[in-house]
């Protein structure tokens, strides 16, 4: 169909509180859509037990991160809970030049920087159904100590408030399959692929604002 003829590369920012499931959604989207690249961020934080360098993040020292900033190698960067995160500029540029769409899974600070650099960037924010469920998801990850997890939860409300100002699309991840389909619809609409039915839950959110 027309999907194969679409060559328009777009920048897609996907953000959301820690533990909301945005990484899983992004990976599923990349599996199901052709010509979409998931950017791998650079970070100074320690690698988790189940994480893979170059797949989940590129793990570098703070000195190496600073060198990349000074050399203009990062498209955006931010400090979050004492650790630095950034997006490698060269990989994103290469994908866009080749006509591929690029998904950036970053926080709202980085999202605002990307929106300033790419005004046509598609901004998607992932929400948990409730604050209580978000807290449970954070706890279930077991990757952080209690104090860090509490800081992340406390920051989530402010992050969500900012997202309502800068993000066009709010997707509730109460059902993974439905959330993935909704994100795919949003991306394909930006790439010029039309769907018979738009995301009903997204419309519902927009009406309730």
For residue 192 the two structure tokens come to 């010029």
Q: Per the domain annotation, does 76 fall within a domain?
A: no
Alpha carbon distance 114, 189 (integer Å): 20
Q: Per the domain annotation, does 131 fall within a domain?
A: yes
Q: Which helix (H) or strand (E) holds 80?
A: strand 74-80
How far the first Cα of the chain sits from its last, in Å, is: 35
pLDDT (tens digit per residue) in 35-84: 999 999 999 999 988 899 988 899 999 999 999 999 999 999 989 889 99
What value does the mean pLDDT take over residues 188-204?
A: 63
CATH of the domain at 181: 3.40.50.300
| Longest Cα separation, the chain | 51
Q: Per the domain annotation, does 64 fall within a domain?
A: no
Q: Per the domain annotation, does 27 fall within a domain?
A: yes
Q: Per the domain annotation, does 30 fall within a domain?
A: yes
Alpha carbon distance 102, 92 (integer Å): 7
Q: Which helix (H) or strand (E) holds 83?
A: strand 83-88
Alpha carbon distance 59, 202 (integer Å): 35
Assign 2 a pLDDT band (cuts: 50, 70, 90): very low
Q: Per the domain annotation, does 44 fall within a domain?
A: no
Q: Per the domain annotation, does 62 fall within a domain?
A: no
Number of domains into which the chain is organized: 1
- Comparing CA positions, the residue from 99, 80, 95 lying closest to residue 17 is 80
Domain that residue 149 falls in: 2-39+100-208
Q: What is the mean pLDDT of the chain?
A: 83
Comparing 68 with 143, which gets the higher pLDDT? 68
What value does the mean pLDDT take over residues 180-209?
A: 69
Q: Per the domain annotation, does 46 fall within a domain?
A: no
């Amino acid at each position: 169909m027309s999907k194969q003829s679409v060559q328009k590369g777009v920048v897609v920012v996907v953000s959301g509180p820690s533990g909301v499931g945005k990484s899983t959604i992004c990976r599923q989207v990349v599996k199901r859509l052709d010509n979409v690249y998931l950017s791998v961020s650079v970070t100074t934080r320690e690698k988790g037990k189940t994480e893979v360098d170059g797949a989940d993040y590129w793990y570098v020292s703070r000195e190496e991160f600073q060198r990349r900033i000074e050399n203009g190698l990062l498209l955006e960067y931010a400090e979050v809970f004492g650790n630095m995160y950034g997006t490698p500029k060269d990989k994103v540029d290469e994908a866009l030049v080749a006509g591929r769409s690029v998904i950036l899974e970053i926080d709202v600070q980085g999202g605002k920087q990307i929106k300033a650099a790419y005004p046509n960037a598609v901004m998607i924010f992932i929400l948990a159904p409730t604050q209580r469920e978000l807290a449970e998801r954070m706890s279930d990850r077991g990757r952080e100590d209690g104090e860090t997890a509490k800081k992340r939860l406390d920051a989530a409300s402010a992050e969500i408030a900012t997202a309502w100002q800068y993000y066009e699309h709010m997707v509730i991840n109460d059902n993974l399959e439905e959330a993935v389909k909704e994100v795919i619809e949003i991306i394909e609409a930006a790439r010029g692929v039309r769907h018979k039915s738009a995301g009903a839950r997204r419309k519902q959110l927009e009406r309730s604002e």
